[in-house]
Structure 1
């Protein structure tokens, strides 16, 4: 279990993390989300004792991680897959980690096989692709068979098979009762993988809830209505306060009215309805809505591109 209480980090005039409190519980995959510059990487570095908090505390299984006698046996972390000596083979890189943590030599072969690098174990890591480097970083995180695992952008560079593999791996690790904490900008992956979410913006906690609660709380219910009397139904619904837009030639998307209310209005006005169904908002839509005021870096549209689009 990871627990942060009033965690803050200041770099000069910049407050990167602002009185952050949260718990990452075992037995589930917890997604860690936030825009660029929100403080995610700084928070993960403080959990691992790589950066000291300006104030507040963060513990792993009840104590600061710096006090761990055998770090890799307690926490496995992937923060930067490129932090590898390029001249070493994958095998020798993991062997060095194993020896410094009193781990058996056979564990190196086990994790290389687990991440699919057994066939390139003797190759120097500087020749690895981005995806292979990610797999090597994940192997290092798993080396000590730890109860707590932290991954920062674990699917970066992986192909579709690799993405499915890491998704299933994280779920399996959580199902074993481990604490799995993963930061990612890929909302579709978080929606498919995470059970719980911790969302921050400008260093502050903005949400701590399940994925479904996050979507429900930060998106507006939309209803798709298919009817041969499109204009007539649209006028009726707009007259009752609904927000209506076309969705193809025979359907409307309606907000601010419920399904029962839409159905009753159609019936009362003798309008045939062929479909009446809710539209499930995505995690990405809910995330963009919640964090729109917390985005620190806004990109401009290049001149001429907007008109061309």
Structure 2
């Protein structure tokens, strides 16, 4: 379990993390989301004891991670897949980590096999693609067989097969009762993988709830209609208090009424419908709407 209580980090007058309180529980994949500059990386570094908090606290299974000897046996982490010695082989890199954490040498071959790098074990890391380095970073996180795992943007550089593999890996680790904490910008993957979401903006907590609760509270729903008599349907629906937005080709997006109610009204007024379908916005859309006021850098923003 990861428990953050009023965790704060200041750099001079800048508050990077502002009294952040949340819990990442065992048996769940917790997605850690926020716009660029929200404080996600700083939070991860404080969890691992790489940055000291200005205030508050963060513990891993009840104690600060920095107090743990042989840390890889307690927490496995991937923060930056590029932060490796390019002149070493994958096997040598993991062997050094294993020795420093008193991990059995047999684990090196085991994790290389698990992440699909067994055939590249003796190759120098400098010749690896970004996707291969991501796999090596994941191998390093798994090396000590830890109960808690942290991943910062683990899907960068992975091909579709690799993305599916990581999704399955995270699910398996959580099902084994481990705490899996994943920071990612890939909302579609978080929607397919995460059980719980912690969302921050400008260092402050915005949401801490299950994926289902987050989607139900923040996602928007609309009904897509297609009719040869859009004008008549528009008048009927607006009279019922609905909002109707034409989308061309005799189609419109309706909010404020359910698909069932729209169908009933169309039937009552003799209006033919060619299509009637409910559309729910994606996690990405819900995330963008919720964090709109916390984005520091907007593309196309006026100077």
Q: Which residue does the alignment assign to 2:300? A: 300
| Structure 2 unaligned blocks of 5 or more | none
Aligned-pair CA distance for 1:213: 1.7
Distance, in Å, in 1 between the alignment partners of 2:299 and 2:24 is 33
Q: Which residue does the alignment assign to 1:272? A: 272
Query: Which string of whole-angstrom CA distances, capped at 9 and with x for unpartnered residues, describes residues 250-300 of structure 1?
Result: 432101223343233323322233443321210000001000000011222
Query: Which string of whole-angstrom CA distances, capped at 9 and with x for unpartnered residues, describes residues 39-89 of structure 1?
Result: 000001000000011000100001000111221011000001111111111
- Helix, strand or coil for the counterpart of 2:294? coil
Q: Which residue does the alignment assign to 1:184? A: 184
Aligned-pair CA distance for 1:248: 5.2
Q: Which residue does the alignment assign to 2:50? A: 50
* Alignment TM-score, normalising by the size of structure 2: 0.96
Q: Which residue does the alignment assign to 1:307? A: none
Distance, in Å, in 1 between the alignment partners of 2:301 and 2:64 is 45
RMSD, matched Cα = 1.6
- Helix, strand or coil for the counterpart of 1:146? coil
* Alignment TM-score, normalising by the size of structure 1: 0.94
| Structure 1 unaligned blocks of 5 or more | 303-309
- 1:222-237 mapped onto 2 (5 Å cutoff): 222-237=222-237
- 1:136-175 mapped onto 2 (5 Å cutoff): 136-175=136-175
- 1:1-309 mapped onto 2 (5 Å cutoff): 1-247=1-247, 249-300=249-300
Distance, in Å, in 1 between the alignment partners of 2:287 and 2:82 is 29
Query: Which string of whole-angstrom CA distances, capped at 9 and with x for unpartnered residues, describes residues 143-192 of structure 1?
Result: 00001000000000001111111111001100111100000001111111
Aligned-pair CA distance for 1:234: 1.6
Distance, in Å, in 1 between the alignment partners of 2:140 and 2:29 is 19
Q: Which residue does the alignment assign to 1:305? A: none
Distance, in Å, in 2 between the alignment partners of 1:49 and 1:251 is 55
TM superposition outliers: structure 1 runs of 4+ over 4 Å: none
Distance, in Å, in 1 between the alignment partners of 2:99 and 2:260 is 65
- Helix, strand or coil for the counterpart of 1:289? helix
Aligned-pair CA distance for 1:133: 0.7
Distance, in Å, in 2 between the alignment partners of 1:264 and 1:278 is 15
Aligned-pair CA distance for 1:214: 1.3
Distance, in Å, in 2 between the alignment partners of 1:300 and 1:120 is 43
Aligned-pair CA distance for 1:220: 2.4
